[in-house]
């Protein structure tokens, strides 16, 4: 069966934020469990656009945002590269956020014309588990679209008034997609993708430990993965998706052995999927958890450059190859159901072979908008970045060892040959031995 536009997709949201070359390395706030990027730089957004600090393409920055505050940042955009500015909001640990808490962002010209905007709140109704959330604004290069001129633009971040009165740490990401060397094909019809959820993979699960957000998300590939998630926490995972590929996911939450049989307590399980620019793909998927096992399923559209021009929600954000991020959150109320972490199994299928992508003028993988063989291998092994770095160092050390042995062997053979040649020449110069006939 082939899909229609209403393909189910795990909800997710992402933000890109720029970095400033003049700032110093940011300190990770001790009051939040979110792991900020080690290379992130501290920046101070300005109340006045005249004093807006500059964010650089590919940069990651940290700042703090008070209730009702609007901060301004400046970015330089060229005339040929699509750009995405994402804000990741990270409430302090234990913050009492409500559904009304959230942020708004806007990308503007210096003449105060809006290029794009977005807003994101923590929840709807009474459901607002504290967790990292993202919102983004950007400039997509397209004929006849707004804000195509090269120059300086302003990115504003505004915090909506809510119940939490403390400052929030925020992370800003400024992603710049390489310019195209030629125009890509238009996106295939939305009903051309697989629409039926495939049977989830079976077999023995591999143990992993999910990260806290986009910077330390646990790589996973096709197969079965096992983790434990505690109440009030978010665990992050990432899967590489190449052009033309779809993600099929089944999230199994195990039963709680210590849950009371007739208890009315329950909490929420929420799954959100984000694209390589940290933009949420679609609305989150959520279920109430009362101690009984449950499953959440998701099937995304295929990745295609032309999806960005589609009007269908859940399709337009599937427009980049690269790492796709899955954030799974258990609300604090799950602690009323069980004191133990909940056993979680992720069953991952990547549908379709990788297809040729658009012709970029520069390296898309380096810019964060592509998939390499190393990324696929890392995900298949469930390797963290630290484990991958250690493997690289071991391989380099082994190669240096092989090189040393080879050089030593060649040098030894050369010295031996030189000795034999010298010996023969010496014998020839001495003439025949006196007993020779």
307 pLDDT exceeds 70? yes
pLDDT-derived band at 392, boundaries 50, 70, 90: confident
| Dihedral pair phi/psi, residue 179, rounded to 5° | -70, 155
Q: Return left, alpha or beta for 404; rule: phi > 0 is left, psi -120 to 50 is alpha, else beta.
A: alpha
Q: Which two tokens stand for residue 407?
A: 């050089």
Q: Return left, alpha or beta for 144; rule: phi > 0 is left, psi -120 to 50 is alpha, else beta.
A: left
What percentage of the chain reaches a pLDDT higher than 90?
A: 70
Which of 326, 146, 159 lies closest to 227, judged by CA? 326
Give tens-digit pLDDT for 201-227.
999 999 999 999 999 999 999 999 999
pLDDT value of residue 45: 99
Q: Is the pTM of this model over 0.95?
A: no
Give tens-digit pLDDT for 341-363.
999 999 999 999 999 999 999 99
- State the Cα–Cα distance between residues 327 and 236, nearest whole angstrom: 4
Angle at alpha carbon of residue 220, lines to 214 and 226, rounded to 5°: 105
State the maximum Cα–Cα separation within the chain, in Å, rounded to a whole number. 114
Q: Which has more pLDDT, 13 or 379?
A: 379
> Where do the domains of the chain lie?
41-383
């Amino acid at each position: 069966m082939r899909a229609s536009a209403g393909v189910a997709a795990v909800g997710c949201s992402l933000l890109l934020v720029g970095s400033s070359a003049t700032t110093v390395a940011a300190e990770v706030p001790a009051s939040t469990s979110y792991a900020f990027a080690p290379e992130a730089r501290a920046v101070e957004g300005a109340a006045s656009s005249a004093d807006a600090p500059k964010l650089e393409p590919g940069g990651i920055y940290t700042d703090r945002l008070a209730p009702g505050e609007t901060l301004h940042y400046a970015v330089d955009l060229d005339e040929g590269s699509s750009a995405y500015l994402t804000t990741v909001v990270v409430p302090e640990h234990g913050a009492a956020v409500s559904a009304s808490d959230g942020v708004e962002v806007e990308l503007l010209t210096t003449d105060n014309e809006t290029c794009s905007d977005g807003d994101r709140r923590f929840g709807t109704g009474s459901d607002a588990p504290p967790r990292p959330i993202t919102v983004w604004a950007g400039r997509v290069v397209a004929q006849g679209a707004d804000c195509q001129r090269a120059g300086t633009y302003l990115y504003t971040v505004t915090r909506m008034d809510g119940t939490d009165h403390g400052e929030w740490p925020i992370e800003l990401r400024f992603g710049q997609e390489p310019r195209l060397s030629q125009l890509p094909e238009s996106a295939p019809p939305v009903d051309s993708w697989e629409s039926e959820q495939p049977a989830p993979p079976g077999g023995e699960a591999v143990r992993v430990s999910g990260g806290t957000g986009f910077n330390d998300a646990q790589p996973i590939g096709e197969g079965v993965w096992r983790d434990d998630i505690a109440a009030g926490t978010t665990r992050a995972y990432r899967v590489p998706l190449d052009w033309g590929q779809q993600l099929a996911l089944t999230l199994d939450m195990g039963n709680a052995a210590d849950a009371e049989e007739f208890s009315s307590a329950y909490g929420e399980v929420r799954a959100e999927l984000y694209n390589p620019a940290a933009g949420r793909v679609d609305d989150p998927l959520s279920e109430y958890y009362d101690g009984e096992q449950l499953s959440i399923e998701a099937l995304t559209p295929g990745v295609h450059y032309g999806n960005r021009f589609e009007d269908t929600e859940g399709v337009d954000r599937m427009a980049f190859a690269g790492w796709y991020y899955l954030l799974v959150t258990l609300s604090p109320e799950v602690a009323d159901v069980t004191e133990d972490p909940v056993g979680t199994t992720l069953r991952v299928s990547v549908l379709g072979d990788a297809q040729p992508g658009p012709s970029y003028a520069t390296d898309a993988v380096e810019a964060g908008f592509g998939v390499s063989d190393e990324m696929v291998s890392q995900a298949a092994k469930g390797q963290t970045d630290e484990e991958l770095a250690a493997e690289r160092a071991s391989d380099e050390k082994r190669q240096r060892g092989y090189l040393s042995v080879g050089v030593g062997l060649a040098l030894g053979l050369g010295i031996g040959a030189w000795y034999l040649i010298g010996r023969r020449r010496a014998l020839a110069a001495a003439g025949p031995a006196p007993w020779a006939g």
